[in-house]
């Protein structure tokens, strides 16, 4: 008897995880080649081919891709439709931006916008710890993780799932935006924190330093991918998929599904926080417009387009969607939103497994079904050639 695994949220068939049939040594070899290829692409090819401006755009896309890696883990593997990742992205981004604003202002001084809108006599108490990089840097990751831990503990223990979890995530994103906008004097309101000049002593106006920020971002993304791969391939990864596909069965086996889900959710939040923190020096701005409901959904769209249950799918999807957005809006400033919508419809309708399934489609073997695309092409080529 065969049962098709169903996604608990959308009830779509979920692609089965990769079969560990090829043996460990081949796996290791393929992973190493993959990483080397990715590193060469990000560290050598892209900086050589792209102008400073395009490279800084790529840096921005890669930050979105980091969030996507986390969503791929929580949603693709864990079945938790995390529609509020903007909150964690924002916490990381604001923590970093607060530190950089304070560093720009100099010791003891207040950031420019606070003098303008806040009419405060001194720095608010909750801003003070962020003056120290030893507090601010860990906070960019730990703060989102702590919030995710508290929220996750409450939600998963109470067995809140599916649409209810998604709605709760969205509500959190909306609440955070309202909070930030209301406190204009201390958070910059709708403007957010803008005009960030320096990054730990490096002048961000300098293209050389912008390049350095890009390299840090590219390196961090590779590291996060390695971490995600490690988690997915471990016993924990198997357990996470098992919880996604049959939470009650896992419970009867003696595991606590709440803890399993919590770990993935907290890790995803940490990744989003790190992405937000690196986004700030790359783009020079963090604002409520980047962390609300709409950007939170856009993060998930990238993952869905790329293929949520795979390792590389979310990354490719996030970069592809962000790149398409830029390319389409530059070429067709008046109509690009329609074209982008069309693209989503086409992907969802014809490639429900996302862009990553293209690779699988091409590689499919003759296992009783239709031959794979590559094989078919090869066969046709053989027929045509004399």
Which of residues 135 and 336 has its CB atom nearest to other proteins in the complex?
A: 336
Q: Which residues of 27-43 are buried (b: 16+ CB within 10 A; e: fewer)?
A: eeeebeeeeeebeeebe
Query: With the C-alpha atoms ordered 137, 139, 144, 145, is the resulting torsion angle positive or negative?
Result: positive
Shortest reach from residue 101's CB to other proteins, in Å: 12
Q: Which residues pair with 177 in a beta bridge?
A: none
Shortest reach from residue 60's CB to other proteins, in Å: 8
Shortest reach from residue 282's CB to other proteins, in Å: 11
Which of residues 329 and 357 has its CB atom nearest to other proteins in the complex?
A: 329
Q: What size, in residues, is the chain? A: 386
Note whether 113 and 191 are within 8 A (CB): yes
Which residues would be at the binding site for other proteins (CB under 8 A)?
20, 24, 27-28, 31-32, 35, 39, 43, 51-53, 56-57, 60, 116-117, 119, 178, 181-182, 184, 189-192, 194-197, 201-203, 205-209, 211-212, 214-216, 218-220, 222-223, 225-227, 229-230, 233-234, 283-285, 287, 289-290, 326, 329-330, 333-334, 336-337
Shortest reach from residue 203's CB to other proteins, in Å: 5
Q: Which residues contact 100 (CB under 8 A, 6 or more apart)?
A: 196, 198, 199, 280, 281
Which of residues 224 and 356 has its CB atom nearest to other proteins in the complex?
A: 224
Which of residues 153 and 326 has its CB atom nearest to other proteins in the complex?
A: 326
Which of residues 153 and 191 has its CB atom nearest to other proteins in the complex?
A: 191
Q: Taking the mean position of all CA atoms in its chain, how far away is CA 138?
A: 19
Q: Which residues contact 174 (CB under 8 A, 6 or more apart)?
A: 292, 293
Note whether 120 and 110 are within 8 A (CB): yes
- Which helix (H) or strand (E) segment holds residue 198: the answer is strand 198-199
Q: Which residues pair with 6 in a beta bridge?
A: 13
Shortest reach from residue 198's CB to other proteins, in Å: 10
Shortest reach from residue 222's CB to other proteins, in Å: 5
Which of residues 73 and 155 has its CB atom nearest to other proteins in the complex?
A: 73
Shortest reach from residue 301's CB to other proteins, in Å: 15
Shortest reach from residue 57's CB to other proteins, in Å: 7
Report H helices in the chain: 24-40, 46-49, 52-71, 85-105, 112-113, 133-157, 162-182, 184-187, 207-233, 235-245, 247-252, 257-283, 293-306, 313-331, 336-350, 356-363, 373-384
Measured at the CA of 289, the angle between CA 52 and CA 189, to 5 degrees, comes to 110
Which of residues 38 and 162 has its CB atom nearest to other proteins in the complex?
A: 38
Which of residues 151 and 309 has its CB atom nearest to other proteins in the complex?
A: 309
Note whether 326 and 94 are within 8 A (CB): no
- Which among 78, 76, 64 is positioned nearest to 221, based on CA atoms? 64
């Amino acid at each position: 008897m065969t049962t098709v695994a169903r996604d608990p949220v959308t009830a779509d068939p979920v692609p089965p995880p990769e079969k560990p049939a090829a043996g460990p040594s081949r796996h290791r070899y393929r992973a190493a080649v993959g990483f080397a290829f990715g590193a060469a692409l990000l560290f050598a090819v892209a900086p050589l081919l792209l102008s400073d401006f395009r490279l800084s755009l790529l840096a921005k896309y890669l930050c979105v891709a980091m969030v996507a890696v986390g969503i791929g883990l929580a949603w693709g593997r864990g079945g938790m439709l995390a529609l509020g990742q903007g909150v964690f992205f924002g916490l990381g981004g604001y923590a970093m931006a607060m530190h950089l604003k304070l560093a720009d202002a100099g010791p003891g001084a207040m950031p420019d916008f606070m003098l303008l809108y806040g009419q405060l006599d001194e720095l608010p108490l909750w801003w003070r710890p962020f003056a120290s990089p030893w507090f601010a840097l860990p906070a960019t990751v730990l703060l989102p993780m702590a919030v995710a831990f508290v929220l996750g503990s409450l939600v998963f223990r109470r067995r809140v799932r599916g649409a209810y979890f998604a709605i709760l995530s969205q509500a959190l994103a909306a609440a955070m935006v309202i909070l930030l906008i209301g406190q204009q004097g201390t958070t910059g309101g709708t403007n957010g924190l803008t005009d960030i000049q320096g990054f730990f002593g490096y002048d961000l106006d300098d293209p050389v330093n912008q390049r350095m920020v890009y390299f840090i971002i590219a390196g961090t993304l590779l590291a996060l991918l390695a971490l995600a791969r490690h988690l997915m391939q471990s016993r924990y990864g198997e357990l996470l998929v098992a919880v996604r596909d049959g939470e009650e069965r896992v419970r009867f086996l003696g595991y606590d599904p709440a803890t399993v889900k919590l770990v993935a959710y907290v890790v995803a939040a940490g990744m989003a926080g790190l992405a937000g923190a690196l986004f700030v020096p790359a783009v020079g701005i963090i604002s409520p417009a980047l962390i609300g409901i709409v950007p939170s959904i856009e993060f998930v769209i990238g993952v869905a387009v790329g293929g949520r249950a795979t390792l590389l799918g979310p990354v490719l999807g996030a970069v592809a969607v962000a790149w398409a957005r830029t390319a389409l809006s530059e070429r067709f400033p008046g109509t690009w939103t329609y074209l982008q919508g069309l693209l989503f419809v086409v992907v969802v309708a014809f490639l429900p497994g996302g862009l990553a399934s293209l690779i699988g489609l091409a590689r499919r073997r003759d296992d009783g079904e239709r031959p794979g695309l590559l094989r078919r092409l090869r066969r046709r080529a053989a027929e045509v050639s004399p």
